[in-house]
Amino acid sequence: MIPSFEVYLRKHLFSVFVFILPMTAFFAASITRNILDISLAELVVSLGVMSASLIYALLRDSRGYWFYVMCSVKLFDSKERRKQYMEESVPPILVKFLPYPVRGALLGFVLTALVCIPAYALFQSNIHIFIFLFCLTLQPKLVQFTAKMAAKMQVKRVIDSVENLAMHEERSRVRVLDIIGMDLLFTMLINLALVLPIARKPAFDLQHGYGNPAFIVAFLILMSIVHVLLLLFAGKSRRFAMTGELMLGILDKRFMKLSPSGGAFFKLSKLRRCVCYFIAMTVWSIVLCVGFDMLDMQRNFALIYLVGLAPLMLCYVVERFDVLRRDFLAAQDTHQRLVAIGENQPAITEL
């Protein structure tokens, strides 16, 4: 039985919460473990950037995702229910922010900051408790609420565009560089917010120089953990959102300027590529520490970390591109199937 929008939305919001919770729990553990004597600025930046990143990714994909859902018979509602959806109101401030991913991300950052500022004064002696409470309750709920409001606005937008075809025109275009660029930006911000304060931990003390074996081991372990996380984040799929964007006409073959078949490196299995990455990362981290020590570089953890992070971010971009390439090909196939069997037009008519 095809569910109604309300039933489908409840299931969708539950899946969003289940997906977000492990991430926010990991963020909370990372902040409390990495940042000693956290300041108010560090608290606001770390939690705010995480909220902004999660909300941005959700809002960016919502347009295409909900268009795909409604046009592929994932849900069904009567005309009476459709009219009720059109009459439901959304707070005006959300209407101004949520249709635009960057604005929504900024709103999420501001709301997080407004919670963190008074909480820092109230929980200063037990700030780690607040961090876990926020990341396990308020932050997932904030993202879930954003998903709910975005879904309602996008469904109304689809219905309105179908009923007013003459006025419907999609002018925006989705480009791979835009997607990778914003993903890279938020990944860097989260990474720096969580990692740079780790310099205050004894294991990363540079008193004995970059060539200290204890520092080299700690730095190598840190870079290995960061590399694993970057590769995991690079694997986030946009297949269903891309399918909807193809239906909307805002995503076409020009999305990928490089060959859809991928280069020779992409023909290697992901496991082999990861092995190559880790061998190169291990050699790079050790050479970097020894080289900084031999050149008598200024003892600055942020400096060596940023230099060491550069090739890891390059690996992230390569893997992110490969995931988007595969998602694009899968979205093209799904779109062609929907067009071939004529599912999309009847679905829109009934919606």
Orientation angle between helical segments 5-34 and 176-195, nearest 10 degrees: 40
Phi and psi based region of residue 88 (left: phi greater than 0; alpha: psi -120 to 50; beta: remaining):
beta
Both tokens assigned to 58: 């959700």
* Ramachandran assignment for 296, one of left (phi > 0), alpha (psi -120 to 50 degrees), beta (any other): left
Per-residue pLDDT of the chain (351 residues; tens, 9 = 90+): 678 788 888 899 999 999 999 999 999 999 988 887 889 999 999 999 999 999 999 999 999 999 888 877 777 766 677 677 667 777 888 888 988 999 999 999 999 999 999 999 998 888 999 999 999 999 999 999 999 999 988 888 877 766 665 445 555 677 888 899 999 999 999 999 989 889 888 889 888 889 999 999 999 999 999 999 999 999 999 999 999 988 888 886 666 665 555 566 667 788 888 899 999 999 999 999 999 999 988 899 999 999 999 999 999 998 998 899 889 989 989 888 888 766 445 444 444
Task: Give residue 197's Cα distance to chain centre.
Answer: 22
Is residue 57 a contact partner of residue 150, using CB atoms and an 8 Å limit? no
Pick from 208, 182, 192: which is nearest to 308 by CA? Answer: 192
Burial class (CB in 10 A: 0-12, 13-18, 19+), 328: buried
Whose structure tokens read 């496991």? Answer: 271
- Amino acid identity of 317? V
Please state the pTM of the whole predicted model.
Answer: 0.88
Nearest to 31 by CA among 185, 219, 193, 142: 193
Amino acid at position 122, single letter = L
Query: What letter does residue 74 receive in the DSSP assignment?
Result: S
**Both tokens of residue 46?**
């770390």
Output the CA torsion sign for 296, 301, 304, 306: negative
What is the C-alpha separation between 344 and 337, in angstroms, rounded? 10
